[in-house]
Every structure is written in structure tokens, then in C-alpha cells.
Amino acid sequence: MAFRNTRTQASSQALLPVLLASLLLPAAHPPGAAAAAATPAPKAPAAAPPAAGGKPRAVTLAWTLGPAEGTANFLRLNLPCGSAVRFVWQSNDQMPHDIVQVARADCRASAIRTVGGPASSGDATVTYDRPGDYHYRIHKTHRTIGLP
């Protein structure tokens, strides 16, 4: 998953069921500014309207593992600086997963830091204070028990 204080790509390399991410925009987000958008890559995301009344706006993104390793459905999200993204995951088979930040949009990229987990379900929030590309993936903790 790649977050770019303007763009995001999501990879559920190991998450077999569904992984959800919610975008919470800051309350001070001015009307008319780009809020959030989700589209499959490589299409450019379309802007969503800002939250009414200056309240945070939640946008849920869901993705699943594709038929072969490295073929997950990728998502891209544009968001302004100061936005927070909440990662929520649930494994139907109770297998532990986690969310890690990686250096580049590559399923095999090494983890820079762990955002949340490992657990069969979890919840973690990241706030973006600087513009840039942010990439995330599910760490391959499940490989230790023999799954792809």
C-alpha cells in the first residue's frame, strides 16, 4: 500500500480475507480542497468532496489478495498534509498479519517500520505531516507457518 500525501497504493500481499483502511481528514480541512479518492492503480484518483461541517470524513478502502503472489488489487489515495489514515484488518482464519511501511512500491521491499500488528485483527493510525510517497504492505509473518 503506498500513501503519498497525495497518493496511495495498497498491497495485501499476505492478507487473505479483506483489509480495510479508513481516511480521516483533519477537521480544519477547507471546503473545496482535495479530500480523498480511491481508484485502482494506475488510474489517477478522483477527488472526493470534503466532510460537511469540518468533521473528519471516513472513506473505506477494501482490497484482497489476487490469484497469485504479487497480484493483489492495488489502491491509490490522494490526501492533503495533516490527514490521518486508519488501517483496520481482520483475518477470517485468525492468522496474524501486520502493516509495515516499506521504502518503495514493491511487494518484496524491506520494512522500514511496523505500523500495526502482528495480530489476527488490528487497528493503527498514521498521520502525514510531509508531502511524499508512502508505501505499505502486509508483512509476510504467515510464511513462517508454510503459507504463500
CB atoms within 10 A of CB 102: 21
User: Using an 8 Å Cβ cutoff, are 10 and 3 in contact?
Assistant: no
Total-model pTM: 0.54
> Which residues, 6 or more positions from 24, have their beta carbon under 8 angstroms from its beta carbon?
56, 57, 58, 83, 84, 85, 86, 125
DSSP one-letter code for 78: B
DSSP one-letter code for 127: E
Q: Which residue range(s) make up the domain with 63?
A: 2-143
Q: Could you tell me the CATH number of the domain that includes residue 23?
A: 2.60.40
Residue bearing cell 478502502: 61
User: Residue 117 domain-assigned?
Assistant: yes
Give the number of domains in the chain: 1
Phi, psi of 25 (to 5 degrees): -85, 145
User: Residue 148 domain-assigned?
Assistant: no
**pLDDT per residue rounded down to tens, the chain (148 residues):** 544 443 333 333 333 333 444 444 444 333 333 333 333 333 444 344 455 555 666 666 665 565 555 555 556 778 888 888 888 888 777 788 888 888 888 777 888 999 998 888 888 999 989 888 888 888 765 544 444 4
User: Residue 36 domain-assigned?
Assistant: yes
3-class SS of residue 145: helix
Phi, psi of 38 (to 5 degrees): -135, 125
